[in-house]
Chains A and B, each alone.
Chain A
Amino acid sequence: MSVYSFYIFDRHTECIYSKRFTAANNTQSSRGSTLQNGDVPASLRKASKDLDETKLIFGTIFSLRRMAKQLGGADDQFLSYRTGEYKLHYFETPTQLKFVMLTDPRVGNMRTVLHQIWATLFVEYVVKSPLAPAEHTGGKGVANELFEGGLERFMVSMGLLPR
């Protein structure tokens, strides 16, 4: 199991947090037949600028969630999609915070994991921090040591990152 990257978008469609886990277990690279040159799929690595990539991801989930609602009714939500190279997991809170995680395509359902990241890490460390602004506008994003550290520890404990 490995995670490629993780993003949070706020209700103003702004990317407030992004992290790439590129150094993750190189040992696996030989196993995945489609993956060469380390763990990150070529399609992801080629996206030269983070900014373009986050925009692309937001555009994708924006369209997909709308499509899911149109086809499956207002209560329907899209959960994930999978390509040959990666799997995108999606979780949205009622406050329209959007959590996106890109992982290895073999990974199972990550909804509970994303829910936990929100409920136990984001809410505790970011929302309740008196120093954090209520809205992360202007691309400053969440720069919060406790959150970063907590996220890392959590991922390791879930076996998503190497120790």
Chain B
Amino acid sequence: MASSKAARMGEEVWKTRTEKINLEVLTLTYGTLVSQLTHDLRDPATNIPDYAAINTELDRMGHSIGLRLIEDFLAKTSSAGPAPCNNFRETAEMIAKVGFKIFLNVTPRVENWDKEGRSFGLVFEEMPVSEFVELPDDGRAQEELWFLNLFCGVVKGALEMVQMQVKAEWVSDVLRGDDTTEMRVTLIRYIEDEMPPDDE
């Protein structure tokens, strides 16, 4: 019920209120970004790309994007009925069916809930920015680099702005030879309202 409503909303916002760009431009830009990072962030001693640092950097960039993107997301969706999510399950539906839909035109499946309902997986059937991508064949990128790590940062940053602190990380990626591409999102806590500082 709620899930089909989210799907409809995503469809509508994507059709009517989203500016589109050529997908290949986005794909190649993102690929270039990651590729540049593999040049910039190298272990000075061995001159091998420091994949852990690249993951961190992508995450940080994504976080900054998410902090702003959420505002655009809310502005685009709110006149179509901005009911705040009542629970984490609704949040998951909104991220998958509206968030990813209007910004990337993909709709990941929400799966693999844990028992407490605090953690879910987003399974991507298709990932446009992974097109044309081959990870470096140095024997380490396959194990260490999360090519799509920017998106974890985006999810984290966006949810932080709506009072949810989450952990987001990739658990599998077809680029690494896995069967699926899955992001795991875990709710850590709801952020309390900040109080104004005391005057006296």
Q: A94-B162, A128-B68, A134-B68 are in contact. Are A123 and B196 (CB under 8 A)?
A: no
Cα-based distance from A94 to B159 in the complex (angstroms): 10
Smallest beta-carbon distance B93→chain A, Å: 16
Cα-based distance from A122 to B72 in the complex (angstroms): 10
Contacts of B199 in A (CB 8 A): 55
Interface size on A, residues (CB 8 A): 23
Cα-based distance from A93 to B74 in the complex (angstroms): 8
Smallest beta-carbon distance B82→chain A, Å: 7
Cα-based distance from A119 to B78 in the complex (angstroms): 9
Partner of B72, one of A55, A96, A127: A127
Most chain A CB neighbours (cut-off 10 Å) among B71, B84, B194: B71
Cα-based distance from A118 to B82 in the complex (angstroms): 14
Q: A13-B195, A55-B196 are in contact. Are A134 and B75 (CB under 8 A)?
A: no
Tell me the number of A-to-B contacts counted with CB atoms below 8 Å: 49
Q: Which residue of A lies closest to B199 (CB)?
A: A55
Q: Which residue of B lies closest to A58 (CB)?
A: B196
Partner of B78, one of A75, A96, A115, A134: A115
Partner of B163, one of A13, A96, A123: A96
Q: Mark A53-72, 1 if CB is under 8 A from B, else 0.
A: 00100110010000000000
Contact indicator B74/A127 (Cβ below 8 Å): no
Contact indicator A12/B194 (Cβ below 8 Å): yes
Residues of B within 8 A of A (CB): 64, 67-68, 70-72, 74-75, 78-79, 82, 84, 161-163, 193-197, 199
Please give 7 more A-B residue pairs, beta carbons under 8 A apart, in addition to A13-B196, A95-B74. A13-B195, A62-B196, A94-B82, A94-B84, A118-B75, A119-B78, A134-B68
Residues of A within 8 A of B (CB): 11-13, 55, 58-59, 62, 75, 93-97, 115, 118-120, 122-123, 127-128, 134-135
